[in-house]
Structure 1
Amino acid sequence: MEEIMVATVTRRQLMGWAAALASTAYIPTAFAETGKTRLQIRTRRDLEVLDPAFRSGAEDATVCRAIYQNLFVYKPDQDGVPADKLEIELDAAASFEAISETEYRFTLKPGQMFTDGYGEMTAEDVKFSFERIGLPKPGGNISPYAADWAHLKGVEVDDKYSGRILLEKPRASLEYILANASGGIVCKRAIEERGVAHNIQPVGSSALRLTGFERQRQTTLARNPDFQGQPSGYDQIILRVVQDQKTVELAMRSSELDFSDADPTLADSLANVSDLTVEELPGIADVWLGMNVEHAPFDNLAVRRAVRAALDVDEMLMAGYDGKVVRANAMIMPQLLGHWKDAPVHQRDPDLARSLLAEAGMASGFSAQMLVLNQPTFVNMALVAQAQLAEVGINIELDVRDGGSFWSAGKGDEGKKLQLFIMRFNGALDPNYLAFPFASNQVGVWNWQRWTAPAFDEALEKASEAMDTTARASYIVDAQKAMEDSAAFVWLTHETLIYVRRNSVRPSLGPFGTALTYNRFAPV
């Protein structure tokens, strides 16, 4: 039987944990300060927007989790626990209870202070934080994570510390949303006063605060002395931007870094270093080759199918990951709800590719560009794809870009120029989160394929409301079938999660290694 792991919640489960939280009294605890300590962590790309509503990716989200509080969070040290059985613990909330599947009451702990003198957290800040994502004001900026708060009717403030979250319909992902970045509580006054400057001068209330930011170099976090909960395990955490894997290896060997994620080849080279530990977990990212269906000739289904038939995914993975990752055949990975175990496994067929090109009236082939992130893994895969496509008459010019230029290439009208690209999207425990970047309303944001399909959007909407996990899994599979029919996606891998740490560091990786929690890292 397939093992199901998903951050979803049934009515019985939701009522159960909400009742438990409501009955838990908040008791402030004093923690002894230790000597000054510093932790140095590698991050793959520069931070851009440290605002839960407009974060630009996983790196931003990880810092948001460290500097903002949530009503509740997942308990640490739950390795191997199925996602639907993960336990939560109160964070900013003193209590949280479910009135029904569409109404939830919270009460905040008193005396929780925002940094930089912005005062005490109130229920108005909770209302502002959630509604600016799910219910933006007319003419206001639309959060790229608006889908996280789909069905939000509003947040009613009952008094200074209490309020109610009201939904139009049940929300299967509610627990996951509240416990992660889109459930982060920001300071309303700080957002309004600082404006865009708040992106890199954030005001939070959690165990860490941002004290330094040097673009393309490093970000410095420090222990927040006003935080009432468990303090950060380190006085200072420095996040260093390092893209090159060889540089990461040298930095780990020389103690210039204490913790890093790693590619398989790097893990092999560091496995026998005496003061380092390498940990491997099943991957939860999506890596694929995408095609812009609005840009000729990729607006032709036969051409997209020809590209898919011309590629040998296993050879690409051998070049990019030294063959040390498992091939993906669809969007959802095996350990999550909605995995499509019977998804087609496309094998390279150059004759079929040529036949499809002829069908599209392009028997003599054509030329196109492929956008690639300037990292060896992706460049090496692109070089293999370039050679394979050339054999069937498709001549590819590689457009290799560094991080900032790459990640903005698919946004807005600029994204209309894209043709082919190799993309990586950090995953999460929730299948709707994994799927939302491909929805119609994400064209020009995360949907670089610029692909729209009512069947996909409908399946995703049904999955977001389905409190029954069997029904929800079926809707997620339906969404993946729509993606398969489009031939706009050539799935490559879900990767392998690999972390390298100094033996003196006890990391907090989050459920299934998907949510690094910097404030819970601690010295051994």
Structure 2
Amino acid sequence: MRMKLDRRTFLAGSSALAILPYTRFAMAAGARTNPIIAVDADIGNLDPGNRVGTTEGNIIRAVCQTLVRFEPGKTSWTNDAAKEIKQISDTEFDFELNPGQMFTGGFGEMTADDVKFTYDRYINGDKNGKKLAYADDLEALKSVEVTGKYTGKLVLKHPSAALWLIGICDASGAILSKKAAEQLGDKIATTLIGSGPMVLKEWRPKEQFVLAANPDYKGAYKAHFDEITGKIIPEHKTSFLSYQAKELDFTAFDADQLATAKGLPDTKVIDIPGIDYTWIGINVVKGDLADIKVRQAIRWAIDVDAIIQGAYSGATSRAKTLLAPGLLGNWADAPLYTRDVAKAQALLAETGKTGLTFTFTCLNDATSLAVAQIAQANLAEVGITLTINAMDSGAYWALGAGDASKDLELTLIPYTSKFDPSFQTQWFLASQIGLWNWQRWNSPEFDKLHQEGLETLDKAKREAIYVNMQKLLDESASCIWITHGRNFFVDAAWLKPMFLPNGKDWQFEFFDKA
């Protein structure tokens, strides 16, 4: 049977994720021909399988082709590098590539060998056999068989509800040139060779990157702008000032500036409810934190409601579990831990521990620092001293490699969600210890349920699986959930940015004039 690659994959409740525009749409006088935008994190790693965050993911999707590509602003998809994909069974798919799709840098035409090379890295690891950071996005893949220059077969280990949504369509599915990757070696982390609508023309670390239209691109999704410049500005307050000074055409901004944003001329304000998750992670094997009563005491002592008011200006809702409302597996009845100093003190008394001192690691932006300072004051009231270790984004996210996170104690962690719950749960697996499981929590039951969730197609059964997984996380007292976020943007009225419905995955190839 033929796979319908234009089918809708919106999740239940996705109407809550709609983009809500405000204010005027008049064309600004003297508008730039090409947009200049702000991004809040620098490029960390351009290897699709080892990327660090959304900055790289957004660039990778614009520069590289995938077999199928997300449509503008939607989680439905259509063919991209693939001319045709046929579903043979629940675990077999035949694909045929469009001929004449050329990699930049003189690395030749894309063939089925490049697809096999790309996906084999997720199956077998990098050239040294090391597991890719995003390997679980394509966990269901068993093998890729080349049947011709442009044809091949994807063979799955089991049926998968998530493979296309968070793997093949997304940055993890970016098709690499085998020749380029082998020639570049470790430089794959800083050099991106693709065949997509755009090229990475320039990157000046900590300053800016420039995406340019790819003149050799053969596909249907040609870029609408000659260039898009991304200015790296970690602080939203700084980038918002730059926008007001007309140095930028698009930026995120903080909630406490919403009223100001609505009053700006020739500006659209975009408000997208978040599906991400920010939490305080606790290292469950580090010193006194290995005692669950200490972790429970910390959870009761920290005033999350005060954090929402003080750090987020009350403009975002409080999270109480991993998966946001509207996502498959949201645990609606999850407990809400309202601050209780007496309970925290009683738990600490049971441990017999006094004079506890921990380090709280976070990013050095204003919001993260405000969260850290509130937590510091809260814990001081129950006799726990927190030392704040604020880091720039490069150093902070580098903790996700080489077991650099092993000595973390309390950490404020902001993660971006995808549209299938397995993407969120994968970071808490035992296999992620030393990578992104900074809690170092190891639950064989959680890992088993994660695998069951990957292999189950029945929606109700998957829902129950992910609720049970969140219950295990709750019992561990390893995570204090803060917020699922809320995404605010301003953009010049002449510009039409494009996002996937989570607000964090930007589709540069579909940015256009309004």
Could you say what secondary structure the match of 1:384 adopts? helix
- Are 1:423 and 2:408 an aligned pair? no
Could you say what secondary structure the match of 1:352 adopts? helix
Aligned to 1:123: 112
Deviation at 1:514, TM superposition (A): 4.2
Aligned to 1:270: 261
Match of 1:60 among 30, 37, 56: 56
Between the aligned partners of 2:179 and 2:416, the Cα distance in structure 1 is 31
Between the aligned partners of 1:54 and 1:290, the Cα distance in structure 2 is 22
- Are 1:487 and 2:477 an aligned pair? yes
Q: Is the 8 A contact 1:233 1:519 kept in 2?
A: yes
- CA displacement, residues 131-162 of structure 1 (integer Å, 9 cap, x when unaligned): 10122268423201111111321100010001
Could you say what secondary structure the match of 1:64 adopts? helix
Deviation at 1:444, TM superposition (A): 1.2
Which 4+ residue blocks in structure 1 deviate beyond 4 angstroms?
Answer: 18-21
Match of 1:286 among 253, 277, 292: 277
Between the aligned partners of 1:141 and 1:266, the Cα distance in structure 2 is 44
Aligned to 1:51: 47
- Are 1:352 and 2:378 an aligned pair? no
Aligned to 2:200: 210
Query: How does 1:138-157 map onto structure 2 within 5 Å?
Result: 139-157=128-146
Query: How does 1:30-45 map onto structure 2 within 5 Å?
Result: 37-45=33-41
Deviation at 1:36, TM superposition (A): 9.5
- 1:69/1:447 Cα in 2 relative to 1: closer, same or farther (>3 Å)? same
Match of 1:221 among 169, 193, 211: 211
One-letter amino acid of the structure 1 residue matched with residue 64 of structure 2: Y
Q: Is the 8 A contact 1:107 1:161 kept in 2?
A: yes
Deviation at 1:409, TM superposition (A): 3.3
Q: Is the 8 A contact 2:41 2:232 kept in 1?
A: yes
Between the aligned partners of 1:54 and 1:367, the Cα distance in structure 2 is 34
Between the aligned partners of 2:5 and 2:482, the Cα distance in structure 1 is 39
Between the aligned partners of 2:399 and 2:190, the Cα distance in structure 1 is 22
Query: How does 1:78-477 map onto structure 2 within 5 Å?
Result: 78=74, 86-136=75-125, 139-176=128-165, 177-229=167-219, 230-362=221-353, 364-409=354-399, 411-477=401-467
Between the aligned partners of 1:301 and 1:449, the Cα distance in structure 2 is 13
One-letter amino acid of the structure 2 residue matched with residue 433 of structure 1: F
Aligned to 1:17: 4
- 1:36/1:161 Cα in 2 relative to 1: closer, same or farther (>3 Å)? farther
- 1:351/1:411 Cα in 2 relative to 1: closer, same or farther (>3 Å)? farther
Structure 2's unaligned 5+ residue stretches are: 9-30
Larger CA deviation: 243-252 vs 443-452:
243-252
Larger CA deviation: 506-515 vs 373-382:
506-515
Q: Is the 8 A contact 1:19 1:98 kept in 2?
A: no
- Are 1:71 and 2:58 an aligned pair? no
Q: Is the 8 A contact 1:357 1:365 kept in 2?
A: no
One-letter amino acid of the structure 1 residue matched with residue 334 of structure 2: A
Could you say what secondary structure the match of 2:50 adopts? coil
- 1:107/1:145 Cα in 2 relative to 1: closer, same or farther (>3 Å)? same
Aligned to 1:27: none
- CA displacement, residues 363-395 of structure 1 (integer Å, 9 cap, x when unaligned): x34111111210111100111111110000001
One-letter amino acid of the structure 1 residue matched with residue 290 of structure 2: D
- 1:354/1:36 Cα in 2 relative to 1: closer, same or farther (>3 Å)? closer
Aligned to 2:27: none
Between the aligned partners of 2:326 and 2:511, the Cα distance in structure 1 is 25
Deviation at 1:414, TM superposition (A): 2.9
One-letter amino acid of the structure 2 residue matched with residue 307 of structure 1: I
Could you say what secondary structure the match of 1:290 adopts? strand
Deviation at 1:273, TM superposition (A): 0.3
Between the aligned partners of 2:410 and 2:40, the Cα distance in structure 1 is 23
Between the aligned partners of 2:126 and 2:412, the Cα distance in structure 1 is 35
Q: Is the 8 A contact 1:506 1:523 kept in 2?
A: yes
- 1:157/1:59 Cα in 2 relative to 1: closer, same or farther (>3 Å)? same
- 1:120/1:416 Cα in 2 relative to 1: closer, same or farther (>3 Å)? same
- 1:37/1:114 Cα in 2 relative to 1: closer, same or farther (>3 Å)? farther
- 1:42/1:36 Cα in 2 relative to 1: closer, same or farther (>3 Å)? closer
One-letter amino acid of the structure 1 residue matched with residue 181 of structure 2: I
Q: Is the 8 A contact 2:41 2:234 kept in 1?
A: yes
Deviation at 1:46, TM superposition (A): 0.8
Could you say what secondary structure the match of 1:186 adopts? coil
Could you say what secondary structure the match of 2:58 adopts? helix
Structure 1's unaligned 5+ residue stretches are: 1-13, 22-34, 79-85
Between the aligned partners of 2:61 and 2:401, the Cα distance in structure 1 is 25
- 1:505/1:44 Cα in 2 relative to 1: closer, same or farther (>3 Å)? same
Could you say what secondary structure the match of 2:465 adopts? helix
Larger CA deviation: 411-420 vs 321-330:
411-420
One-letter amino acid of the structure 2 residue matched with residue 196 of structure 1: D
Between the aligned partners of 1:380 and 1:124, the Cα distance in structure 2 is 50
Q: Is the 8 A contact 2:324 2:484 kept in 1?
A: yes
Deviation at 1:267, TM superposition (A): 3.2
- 1:433/1:154 Cα in 2 relative to 1: closer, same or farther (>3 Å)? same
Between the aligned partners of 2:500 and 2:404, the Cα distance in structure 1 is 35
Between the aligned partners of 1:409 and 1:122, the Cα distance in structure 2 is 36
- 1:360/1:37 Cα in 2 relative to 1: closer, same or farther (>3 Å)? same
TM-score (norm 1): 0.90
- 1:427/1:18 Cα in 2 relative to 1: closer, same or farther (>3 Å)? closer
- CA displacement, residues 95-144 of structure 1 (integer Å, 9 cap, x when unaligned): 01110110001100010010011110000111111110122268423201
Q: Is the 8 A contact 2:144 2:152 kept in 1?
A: yes
Deviation at 1:289, TM superposition (A): 0.7
| Paired positions, count | 490
TM-score (norm 2): 0.92
